[in-house]
Structure 1
Amino acid sequence: MRIRPAGTMLVSLHGELVPHPWRYPLVASSDAYSLFAARASAMGWLTEAAQNASGGLWGMNDAGQDPLPESSRPARVAWFQVSLTTPVPAGRPLPVQAFLSCADDVVARIGALRLEALQVLLPVQSLEAPTDTSSQGSAVMTLLQDAGWFADGDPHLRTRVRVTLDGGQDPSIRSAAPEMLRWMRELDQDVFLCDSLTVTDDDVILEPTVIDELWLGPARHRVALRGTLAEWSLDALGWLAAFLADASARHGVGTPLMFTAARSREPDSLTG
């Protein structure tokens, strides 16, 4: 029995991946798909595709290392796609941090990654709407508590980043953007300090690498954020993606969003 998806999460990692010399030639049992499934199962995140299956966060869809055409820069080096098993309960964030942590562990098994950019399909529609507008008992409170993980990080790892959120054919992210920025600035957290959030058609980091049927593609309605992230890592980027998904849902967005992030091109950027 196939798991009925509540929403699709997909991450594409872009940059350079230097394979570990001992892994090649590849054997069929250790490709990106099998490694991701094994790691997710070991961590309790995988829901088995079986009758009356329970537990876990997602079911496997697909994964791979197949490159995109040469015109894609920075190059896509790996990608992973899953379907959420059930809608995310009210008060819980999208499990993006666990999803990217699993991808990080798998890529580390394959080789050494130099991450330049990433793209994550966020199924915002899978977040159950909060019963009220307060932060108490909400997903953001969980995220703010989890932000303590980054509290004692090396300040030299703080990195200037640019992020886009694209709603495809749905324009709701654009109307939500001003209030999202105001709300984010009221929160006591320093994992991501947002300097600006603007409505733009020009700030393209990566073109979407997912078929239109999985969201409301093609890309059209986009907002861009610039700010400082605690560190340039899949861990911190997973936290940020979940944070922005919650902010979007809280301000009326109920459709999938394409989250794309890269280090800022600004001359004074910090590097991790």
Structure 2
Amino acid sequence: MSIRPDSTMFAALHGELVSHPWRDPHVASSDAYSLFVARSSAMGWLTEATENASGGLWGMNDAGQGPDSGSDPSRIAWFQVSLTEPVPDGRPLPVQAFLSCAGDVVARIGTPRLRAVQLLLPVQSLDASSRVRGVIPLLQEAGWFADVDPRLRTPVRVTLDGGQEPSIRSAAPEMLRWMRGFTQDVFSCDSFSLTDDDTVLKPAVIDELWRGPARHRATFSGVLAEWSLDALGWLAAFLAEASSQNGVGTPLMLTADRPEGSRSHVD
């Protein structure tokens, strides 16, 4: 299995989780790690940890359940994988599949109430010089959200942190223009800000994985088709494409939440 050291994807789900009353947390096969392996294998997303293995999207690194030290909102679960092959030209980062798998695992454990998501995006795995068509699959996949109840539309805040690499700050204005150049109804970006916000969740991965610690940020505000891991996965991949196309070639820590007091009409 050809796991590369610079291809880590990490996801932490934050909020509340009410465990299913029938579930036995002491059964090893039902912990977050084992469930993620089983689910991603069943969906064809897991590259087996064997010599010269092929196929799949990622190799399993680690996963866990339960809160970290003092994050607000509290962490429900976290997952870490490594992309096993370079992202093919014309394809986005597989963030939607990654979050879908994470969501399926959490739903097996209990009933979640999602308040924030943090993602490490290996933007450097995208080859900006040959990715003119990289956004096309995302625009096609946007059709999945065409029939979403309009009452589910909700304001979101998405912060991209480049750690010690400042390129995200200079890229932000062009990223906004780039995103507005496409017709899609999943995410309408209203504005961006380079002002630091102390309420953003602190990164929960070691600095070596993404050029941390946190320092250089850009925050994009807009309206998302629905507050779901499905839509957030699409948005994360879209922002990774926007970053890569506008000069960012290093990992980004994405944090998405809903501004205080904002909810969809059917929450």
What is the TM-score normalised by the length of structure 2? 0.96
Instruction: Give the corresponding residue for 1:47.
Output: 47
Letter in 1 for 2:233: G
Instruction: Give the corresponding residue for 1:270.
Output: 264
Instruction: Give the corresponding residue for 2:208.
Output: 213
Distance, in Å, in 1 between the alignment partners of 2:141 and 2:262 is 29
Would you identify which runs of 4 or more consecutive aligned residues in structure 1 move more than 6 Å?
none
Instruction: Give the corresponding residue for 2:144.
Output: 149
Q: Kindly indicate whether the alpha-carbon contact (under 8 Å) linking 2:4 and 2:84 is maintained by their aligned counterparts in 1.
A: yes
Instruction: Give the corresponding residue for 1:91.
Output: 90
Q: Return closer, same or farther for 1:2/1:131 CA change in 2, 3 Å cut-off.
A: closer
The partner residue of 2:174 within 179, 182, 190 is 179
- CA-to-aligned-CA distance 1:7-44 (integer Å, 9 cap, x gap): 00000000001100111243111110000000000000
Letter in 2 for 1:72: S
Q: Kindly indicate whether the alpha-carbon contact (under 8 Å) linking 2:10 and 2:119 is maintained by their aligned counterparts in 1.
A: yes
What is the TM-score normalised by the length of structure 1? 0.94
Deviation at 1:2, TM superposition (A): 7.0
The partner residue of 1:246 within 219, 237, 241 is 241
Matches within 5 A, 1:2-81: 3-69=3-69, 71-81=70-80
Letter in 2 for 1:81: Q
Q: Return closer, same or farther for 1:92/1:2 CA change in 2, 3 Å cut-off.
A: closer
- CA-to-aligned-CA distance 1:188-246 (integer Å, 9 cap, x gap): 01100011011122254211111101101000000011110000000000000000000
Greater CA deviation, 101-110 or 195-204?
Answer: 195-204
The partner residue of 1:190 within 185, 191, 195 is 185
Instruction: Give the corresponding residue for 1:164.
Output: 159
Alignment: residue pair count: 266
Structure 2: gaps of 5 or more residues: none
Instruction: Give the corresponding residue for 2:227.
Output: 232
The partner residue of 1:199 within 177, 184, 194 is 194
Letter in 2 for 1:186: G
Q: Return closer, same or farther for 1:128/1:146 CA change in 2, 3 Å cut-off.
A: same
Task: For residue 244 of structure 1, give the secondary structure of its aligned residue in structure 2.
Answer: helix
- CA-to-aligned-CA distance 1:60-89 (integer Å, 9 cap, x gap): 0000013212x2110011000000001101
Distance, in Å, in 1 between the alignment partners of 2:64 and 2:262 is 35
Distance, in Å, in 1 between the alignment partners of 2:157 and 2:242 is 17
Q: Kindly indicate whether the alpha-carbon contact (under 8 Å) linking 1:6 and 1:85 is maintained by their aligned counterparts in 2.
A: no
Identity of aligned residues (%): 73
User: What is the RMSD computed on CA atoms of the aligned residues?
Assistant: 1.5
